[in-house]
């Protein structure tokens, strides 16, 4: 079934049932078709595959480990495991698709990588890939996030990227995408837009998913080797949905594994206080594709908020939108408070400081563990929390 699944989704036009597609100006559409064709021929070539494999092993440090949380499991029940994407080079899963996208850019003869960033993780990962391949790099980032995620801004600059501050709207992730898209439209012949998640027009949701599949393939093999069985539950946070697609993709055919995508419930489920797209959104179009969307009556994206900058996006990947309708994945939420509690629990019980994004997945997993003490839970720990420590201390302080 997996083979068929990946053959069927997305369709040739980039649809995951009703979602996805490509809603963009005609000249950009032609460019997207070029990228799609190139992706299908180049990414299946022996040279591309062996170069990417070698990069993953010798440069990124893959495979990342799967780790059993002894103290956390003792306290909360269940058997809790982490797929340690925080140990991937640059500290998050995003380098997996950035190295793939940049390698494709190299094969296409592009000179410049353009992207948006929210928490700064995608910007850092892409600036890293650009440095590795000797490409120019331009990263668009909302001014609010520039202040909040200062260490990542510094890292991007050290890596040689140009950081473009975005000063309109809410000055966070959605506006950064708008701004980066605009820059790309001006110069799509020499540059390539390296989107930061499984979102955007076809072929990006497919390419990013395919580059992230390594997470699920490794995690499944490691988990089976450690336990002799499949996990009962797989949990990942969902912003755009790339780390979640990465790990879920290996378990879609295993009906005995329950899959949970965790969205940010923020301060409350009132308008503008969360980014729970799957829970409260309705189908709509954003950034050139169709998905569940938090929107007003006119179809304009609603303001969103999360304590984790990497999750505050009003849309979500088209494949997740389909998986929700097919009821293959349950989409649930964790709020800011549960997330901060989980951030400290993982830090103090396991010595692992998680990214605030990943702490959403941990927060939900802790609830699951309490309710199902005999079950195993595999969490995709999408990134490390170094970038968040000052913000958490200044805003919340140490726990009592």
Ligand X SMILES: *Cc1c(COP(=O)(O)O)cnc(C)c1O
Compute the least distance from the CB of residue 30 to ligand X, in Å.
27
Q: Which of 139, 176, 278, 355 binds ligand X (CB under 6 A)?
A: 355
Residues 257, 251: Cα–Cα separation, whole Å: 7
Give the separation between CA 170 and CA 158, rounded to whole angstroms: 27
Report the C-alpha gap between 390 and 387 in whole angstroms. Answer: 8
β-sheet with 376-381: strand ranges across: 66-68, 79-84, 376-381, 233-237, 258-266, 330-335
* Residues 357-376 interacting with ligand X (rule: CB under 6 A): 357-358
Q: How far apart are CA 169 and CA 366, in angstroms?
A: 36
176-184, 241-249, 274-282, 283-291 -> range binding ligand X (CB under 6 A)? 241-249
Q: Which letter does DSSP use for residue 91 in this model?
A: S
DSSP string over 327-347: TSSEEEEEEHHHHHHHHHHHH
Nearer to ligand X, 76 or 211 (CB): 211
Residue 274 annotated among the catalytic residues of the structure: no
Report if residue 116 touches ligand X, rule: CB under 6 A: no
315 binds ligand X, rule: CB under 6 A: no
Told to check if 383 binds ligand X by CB under 6 A, we report: yes
Q: Which is nearer to ligand X, 77 or 323 (CB)?
A: 323
Smaller CB separation from ligand X, 220 or 320: 320
Q: Would you say 106 or 252 has its CB closer to ligand X?
A: 252
Residues sharing a CB contact under 8 Å with residue 169, sequence separation 6 or more, in sequence order: 175, 178
Q: Which one of 73-81, 144-152, 233-241, 247-255 is the stretch in contact with ligand X (CB under 6 A)? A: 233-241
Phi, psi of 152 (to 5 degrees): -70, -30
- CB atoms under 10 Å from CB of 183, counted, come to 18
Asked if residue 94 binds ligand X (CB under 6 A), the reply is yes
H helix intervals, 92-203? 94-108, 121-133, 143-148, 150-158, 173-186
Question: Considering the rule CB under 6 A, would residue 121 count as an interface residue with ligand X?
Answer: yes
Question: Shortest gap between Cβ of 64 and ligand X (angstroms)?
Answer: 13
Near ligand X by CB under 6 A: residue from 142, 310, 314, 315: 310
Per CB under 6 A, does 241 bind ligand X?
A: yes
Dist. CA 244–CA 259, nearest whole Å: 9
Asked if residues 275 and 313 have their Cβ atoms less than 8 Å apart, the reply is yes
Of 243, 306, 333, 335, the one binding ligand X by CB under 6 A: 243
# of chain residues touching ligand X (CB under 6 A):
21
* Distance of closest approach, residue 387 Cβ to ligand X, in angstroms: 8
Q: Is 119 in the site for ligand X (CB under 6 A)?
A: yes
Query: Is 93 one of the catalytic residues?
Result: yes
Q: Is 197 in the site for ligand X (CB under 6 A)?
A: yes
Close Cβ partners of 159 (under 8 Å, ≥ 6 residues apart): 124, 127, 128, 130, 131, 137
User: Judged by CB under 6 A, which of 92, 135, 163, 177 binds ligand X?
Assistant: 92
Q: Does residue 213 interact with ligand X by CB under 6 A? A: no
Rule CB under 6 A: which residues touch ligand X?
92, 94, 119, 121-122, 197, 237-244, 310-311, 355, 357-358, 382-383
């Amino acid at each position: 079934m997996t083979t068929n699944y990946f053959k069927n989704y997305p369709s040739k036009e980039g649809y995951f049932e009703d979602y996805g597609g490509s809603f963009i100006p005609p000249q950009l559409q032609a460019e997207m078709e070029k990228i799609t064709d190139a992706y299908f021929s180049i990414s299946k070539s022996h040279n591309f595959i062996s170069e990417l494999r070698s990069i993953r092993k010798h440069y990124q440090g893959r495979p990342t480990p799967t780790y059993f949380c002894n103290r956390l499991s003792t306290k909360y029940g269940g058997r809790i495991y982490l797929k340690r994407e925080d140990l991937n080079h640059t500290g998050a899963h995003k380098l997996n698709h950035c190295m793939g996208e940049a390698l494709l850019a190299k094969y296409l003869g592009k000179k410049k990588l353009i992207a948006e960033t929210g928490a700064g993780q995608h910007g850092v990962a892409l600036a890293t890939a650009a440095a590795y391949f000797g490409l120019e790099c331009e990263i668009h980032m909302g001014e609010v996030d520039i202040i909040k995620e200062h260490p990542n801004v510094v890292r991007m600059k050290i890596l040689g990227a140009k950081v473009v501050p975005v000063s309109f709207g809410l000055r966070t992730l959605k506006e950064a995408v708008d701004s980066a898209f605009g820059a790309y439209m001006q110069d799509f012949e020499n540059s390539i837009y390296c989107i930061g998640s499984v979102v955007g027009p076809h072929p990006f949701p497919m390419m990013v998913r395919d580059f992230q599949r390594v997470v699920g393939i490794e995690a499944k093999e490691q988990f089976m080797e450690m336990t002799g069985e499949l996990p009962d539950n797989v949990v990942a946070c969902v912003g755009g949905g790339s780390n979640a697609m990465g790990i879920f993709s290996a378990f879609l055919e295993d009906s005995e594994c329950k899959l949970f995508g965790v969205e940010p419930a923020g301060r409350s489920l009132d308008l503008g206080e969360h980014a729970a797209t799957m829970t409260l959104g309705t189908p709509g179009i954003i950034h050139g594709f169709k998905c569940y969307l938090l929107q007003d009556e006119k179809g304009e994206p609603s303001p969103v908020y999360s304590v984790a900058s990497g999750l505050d996006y009003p849309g979500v990947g088209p494949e997740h939108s389909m998986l929700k309708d097919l009821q293959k994945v349950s989409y649930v939420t964790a709020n800011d408070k549960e997330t901060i509690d989980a951030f400290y629990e993982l830090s103090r019980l396991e010595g692992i400081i998680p990214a605030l994004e990943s702490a959403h997945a941990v927060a939900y997993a802790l609830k699951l563990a309490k309710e199902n003490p005999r079950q195993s839970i595999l969490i995709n720990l999408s990134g490390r929390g170094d970038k968040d420590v000052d913000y958490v201390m200044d805003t919340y302080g140490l726990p009592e």
